[in-house]
Chains A and B, each alone.
Chain A
Amino acid sequence: MGMAKETQFHVLAVDDSLIDRKLIERLLKTSSYQVTTVDSGSKALEFLGLIEEDHRNPSSNSPSVSSDHHQVVEVNLIITDYCMPGMTGYDLLKKIKESSSLKDIPVVIMSSENVPSRINRCLEEGAEEFFLKPVQLSDVNRLKPHLLRGKSIEKQPEPKPQQQQQQLHLQQQTQQPNNKRKAMEEALSPERQRPRYSGLTVI
């Protein structure tokens, strides 16, 4: 178990669509990640041990998982769909970033719609990446740096908030072409072809 933890990152994937859960699960497993999938933001929070007040059964005072015992299972990264009934991916992101125990877990948002204001809102709220759906292997390959950074943050004392802010700003600037990859491909950036085309050959 200790060995597995060292070598395998655990990703929590949140999507209300079964097809997309299957897809993201395979994508991540192919990349040797350990994967847990859930179909809603509230189930994700439950899994992470963060139970919302208003989701609690009023008659029971002891939630099944208390926030003190958060992360019964360690989660190294959360990847969530944006558009879900009830709690959206954005709501989930905010809850995670507001939680003292969870805020260091990197969060990646996926959406089928390329809405720049939405992308920026998520990045400003602390999302590491914004993937346009359908998510592809080349996207999943971009997760590694965030996972490694997430690991190092856990070991370090509190990162300086200012530094973090700066880092995020930088990330936003450098990653925007990627984030809007489809629009860019069409309009501006022929040199930024996605690598996914290159690996396929006839046998």
Chain B
Amino acid sequence: MNVEQLKSRFKGHYDFMVAEKFLDEQFSQLQQLQDESTPDFAFEVVSLFFEDCQKIFHDLDRALEQPMVDFKTVDNNVHTLKGSSSSIGAARVTHVCIAFRSFCDEHNLEGCLRSMQELKRETALVKNQFEILFKLEQQLLAAGGSITLPVKPSPQSNDHPWFM
């Protein structure tokens, strides 16, 4: 496959991720911050996020199993995840975190448990999408191509209800 084809595959997958709101424009910021000295910056930060997720999910599962759930602890963990997910642009994960936090506010255990499941599902989904994206990126770079993300103010990125 030539560089142009690889580029269009990469772009196609990226556009898909944005259209499905797996990603918002924040990810293009990460890409922009890459240079020769830090060619893997976005990949590193995204990998850190998924490492964090594992630890936080473990803590959340444990907190939600307690006979008397400490909603403050749960909320703190979700708050952390909300921050890191928005820093990498994982919009759907951020969205789930916001709903999750309001269930914490209401001390709504059932809602929290539901959000926990959704959080795991969304995280697994976006992880899968990122893996594909980074693989396509590697192929493109290996073929001598380069990446500038074609991000425009897509209409849907301006009215995310969860971006307050």
Contacts and interface: CB of A to CB of B under 8 A. Distances in A.
Interface stretch (A70-78, A90-98, A131-139): A131-139
B28 interface: yes
Given A17-B84, A19-B84, A200 B150 contact: yes
Binding site secondary structure of chain B: helix
A20 B33 contact: no
Contacts of B149: 200
A202 B10 CA distance: 12
B87 A23 contact: yes
Interface in A1-60: 17-20, 22-23, 26-27, 30
Nearest to B34: A26
Contacts of A20: 83-84, 87
Interface string A86-125: 0000000000000000000000000011100000000000
Interface residues of A, number: 30
Interface size class of B (residues with CB under 8 A): 35 or more
A110 to B, nearest CB: 10
A201 B31 CA distance: 13
27 contacts: A17-B83, A18-B52, A19-B45, A19-B83, A20-B83, A26-B38, A30-B33, A112-B83, A113-B164, A114-B164, A134-B86, A134-B87, A136-B29, A137-B32, A137-B33, A182-B164, A183-B164, A186-B158, A186-B163, A197-B25, A200-B28, A200-B148, A200-B149, A200-B150, A201-B148, A201-B150, A202-B150
Interface of B: 11, 25-26, 28-30, 32-33, 35, 38, 41, 44-45, 48-49, 52, 76, 79-80, 82-84, 86-89, 146, 148-153, 158-159, 163-164
